[in-house]
Structure 1
Amino acid sequence: MNDPLRVGLLGYGFSGKTFHAPLIAASDGLTLCAVASRDAAKVHADLPGIRVDADPLAIIRSPDIDLIVIATPNEAHAPLALAAIEAGKHVVIDKPFALDLAEARSVLAAATRADRQLSVFHNRRWDSDFLTVRDAIAAGVVGDIVHFESHLDRFRPEVRDRWRERAGPGSGVWFDLGPHLVDQALQLFGLPDLIQASLACQRPGAVTDDWAHVILFYGQRRVILHAGMLVAGGTHRFVAHGTEGSFVKRLPDRQEALLLGGTKPGAEGWGADPDGLTIYRHGTERTIPATLGDQRRFYDRLAASLRGAGAAPVPPIEALAVMAVVEAASLSSRERRAVELPLTAEERAAWR
């Protein structure tokens, strides 16, 4: 029972290479044993000697694997998760959960029937920027929040030839960055009353959405989620206006940048954020230090949960709610109207 849980990673693209492999390696409770990839040389350049198989089903069916981590293109998330559950494995799915709410519900139902743990990799819950804002809201530093903005903006004017930017199910900036924005908003404010969204293709040659503007309604409060690919110079990561003032978090968490630069999780400076939170209140201005981020907590908590010590880092019902908002926003944009959250009464009750 004290041996690390054995992990099979399906996919070694951006997410598998940049996030999952190093974060799994940093967890004492897990050991990465196999990777599904058609490019064994790429995997072995980072992970010499590890088993690589071009067929993900071969790893799923391996008796020496306890946990399957799915970091493939989005259209394969649900089919591979169902295969892994059927094979008796616990499962982590990279965001988004699935292509739609129906798929997500089917995977959750299968995991429940099989008594297998299912979690979605909402790693941005452990980003310094989000934790700083969460703590500030909990402390009431600007009173009750009436207006909140969360931005994930980039300046990438050229459309790249990759699955995220090709036309098809699960592509586009809303499916790519939207789940991060939505999950953080739900953690801060709960389930919204209504969702209103506009998605667009703005770059020359774009064939799937590269701009998303989504408004979540909470009574009189409005929460704005925004992502765009033509934002030079950057924008504030978070902005909030409340009954007693406002605050601004200008810069994003640095963990992704550190990982891309080759820094190992847990190294000196890991999760530190030099950009504090600026608070404007009753004519005064002050800046408080940012909260330390640490995405290692996802896999540490997952390993502990699989040992029976504590809850899953992202309960599947919370990931299902994210999928419901993502789908509702897509419908809202197509039909140009505000829509209600498509969760059942039982799902709403289970969420909290």
Structure 2
Amino acid sequence: MSIVIQVGLVGFGLSGRYFHTPFLSVNPRFRLKKIASSRPEAVHAFDAAIEWVATAEELFADPTIDLVFICTPNETHVDYARQALEHKKHVVIEKPFALSEQEAHQLLELARKQERVVTAYQNRRWDSDFLTIKRLLAEGALGNLVEFESRYDRYSPVNLRAQSWKEQAGAGRGNLYNLGPHLLDQVLHLFGTPDTVEATIRIIRPDSRINDYFDIKLGYSDKAARLKSSLLVYHNQLRYSLHGTGGSFIKNGLDAQEERLRLDQLPNDKATWGTEPDDRWGMLYRDGRTELIPSEQGNYMPFYDNLYEAIVNGAEPAINSTDIWQLARIIDLAVLSSELKQTMPF
């Protein structure tokens, strides 16, 4: 009989409710036992069998919980993760993993001492568009890649009556810590450590209390990678543009999984889950012709399957310690680059 991992979730907002809970609930190797949240009614509405507690500390004290997901405001991630590790729990931390390279190192070292798995949630590695790009690059469809640009824009004017913590000033707040980790992790996964980091981080929306725009350039010896995000782009369709010695690939639109999760659809239909509408498929330009490229099928479930293997069988986590500290370091360097208006060596 296979081991079933007992799971506790801290926080039941967008991340906990619509990203983790659906995948955990349909994966038989996990049992979502307990959720710490300020919204017991939302927990019980999803599944009355899930236990609710008011505080993270109550959840950490439960000796039957094997694994904890931290899905709380950014500035609480490190403290909650530290407490969970001290209680001998395995831990998954929503992005950002930590607010600095130093904090990331401290958590990774604590996990090593406690002999527990700690990893970051980087679901965008399993987006349909990113999987398509990985396939095209592996096939050499663009020749030698020389330029990679990734954008993740939204149109979110400031609503002064809104109470979301994401719009409030504070440590770890802002678009760099919210959407930045997605884009940075993808580039690191594709190309590894950059030589240089250059960034512009700004506030561009009227009345904004947080940085809501970034433009990060990562320098490699044979290519340039540019990552941009703005919360004031009305026509926010462009996602990727890649250019190589043998062609270009342009991709619009976002992976469809989040849309379906927000509609309370569960990811249990393997045949259709993560299938992207054909009006979002990318265009490949080469050899004097244009070709519509069907997108790969996206699916975030491999993250959880790998997590199980890491905890139960000692497999390498898909998002490993090197991935985590490199991303934290790049964010630190991006902030410094923007402040000093300098290109920083990695």
TM-score, normalised via structure 1 length: 0.94
- Unpaired runs of at least 5, structure 1: 342-352
Q: Which residue of 1 aligns with 2:181?
A: 179
* Cα distance in 2, alignment partners of residues 26 and 177 from structure 1: 27
CA distance in 1, matches of 2:314, 2:344: 39
- Report the secondary structure of 2:91's partner residue: strand
Q: Is the 8 A contact 1:28 1:300 kept in 2?
A: no
- Which amino acid in structure 2 is aligned with residue 208 of structure 1? I
Q: Superposed, which structure 2 residues align to 1:243-254 within 5 Å? A: 243-254=245-256
CA distance in structure 2 between the partners assigned to 1:309 and 1:79 by the alignment: 25
The whole-number CA distance in structure 1 between the counterparts of 2:306 and 2:249 is: 31
d(CA) in 2 for partners of 1:302, 1:181: 21
Counterpart of 2:139 in structure 1: which amino acid?
A
Q: Deviations over 1:194-224 (max 9, x none)?
A: 0100011111110111111111000241101
Q: Look up the SS of the partner of 2:148 in the other structure.
A: strand
In the TM superposition, 1:249-260 aligns within 5 A as 249-260=251-262
**Identity fraction in percent:** 36
Work out the CA distance in 1 between the residues paired with 2:337 and 2:91: 31
What's 1:200 paired with? 202
Q: One-letter code of the match for 1:333?
A: S
**1:134-162 deviation per Cα after TM superposition (whole angstroms, max 9, x unaligned):** 11111110111111110100111134432
Q: CA RMSD in A?
A: 1.3
For residue 318 of structure 2, what is the aligned residue in structure 1? 313
- State the 1:63 CA deviation: 0.7
Equivalent residue pairs, number: 341
Q: How does 1:279-298 map to 2 (within 5 A)?
A: 279-298=284-303
Q: Secondary structure at the match of 2:32?
A: strand
Q: How does 1:161-172 map to 2 (within 5 A)?
A: 161-172=163-174
Of residues 272, 275, 280, the one that matches 1:269 is: 272
Aligned to 1:83: 83
Alignment partner of 1:339 is 2:344: yes
Residues 61-80 of structure 1 correspond to what in structure 2 (within 5 A)? Answer: 61-80=61-80
* 2:96 alignment partner in structure 1: 96
Partner of 1:158: 158
Q: Which amino acid aligns with 1:204?
A: P
- Residues 108-158 of structure 1: per-residue CA shift (max 9 Å, x gap): 000011111111101111110110011111111011111111010011113
The CA distance in 2 between the partners of 1:251 and 1:38, in whole Å, is 34
Superposed displacement of residue 277, structure 1? 2.7
Letter in 2 for 1:332: S
Distance, in Å, in 1 between the alignment partners of 2:166 and 2:264 is 24
**After the TM superposition, which of the residue ranges 309-318 and 32-41 deviates more from structure 2?**
309-318
Task: Report the equivalent of 2:223.
Answer: 221
* Residue matched to 1:143: 143
Aligned to 1:118: 118
229-238 vs 104-113, which deviates more? Answer: 229-238
The CA distance in 2 between the partners of 1:201 and 1:85, in whole Å, is: 36
| TM score, norm. by length of structure 2 | 0.96
Deviations 1:75-126 (A, max 9, x none): 1111111111111111110111111111111000000111111111011111
Partner residue, 2:37: 37
Q: Is the 8 A contact 1:195 1:329 kept in 2?
A: yes
CA distance in 1, matches of 2:341, 2:210: 18
Letter in 2 for 1:174: L
Q: What are the Cα deviations for residues 215-248 of structure 1, in whole angstroms up to 9, with x where unaligned?
A: 1000241101011111112232110011111111
Which stretches in structure 2 are left out of the alignment for 5+ residues?
none
SS of the residue corresponding to residue 273 of structure 2 reads coil
Matches of 1:260 and 1:320 in 2, distance apart? 31
Detail structure 1 runs of 4+ shifted over 3 Å in the superposition: none
Equivalents in 2 of 1:328, 1:235: separation in Å? 28
Task: Work out whether residues 78 and 107 of structure 1, in 8 Å CA contact, stay in contact via their aligned partners in 2.
Answer: yes
2:240 aligned with 1:238: yes
Per-residue deviation, 1:314? 1.4
Tell me, yes or no, if the aligned pair for 1:97 and 1:320 is still in contact at 8 Å: no
- Residue matched to 2:6: 6
SS at 1:237 equivalent = strand
Q: Distance in 1 between matches of 2:214 and 2:263?
A: 28
Query: Comparing 304-313 with 231-240, which one deviates more in the overlay?
Result: 304-313
Moved more, 3-12 or 151-160: 151-160
Moved more, 296-305 or 168-177: 296-305
Instruction: Indicate if the aligned counterparts of 1:29 and 1:304 stay in contact, CA closer than 8 A.
Output: no
Instruction: Supply the distance in 2 between the matched residues of 1:107 and 1:90 (Cα, whole angstroms).
Output: 12
Q: Distance in 1 between matches of 2:24 and 2:265?
A: 14
Residue equivalent to 1:324: 329
3-state SS in 2 of match to 1:307: helix
Deviates more, 1:236-245 or 1:260-269: 260-269
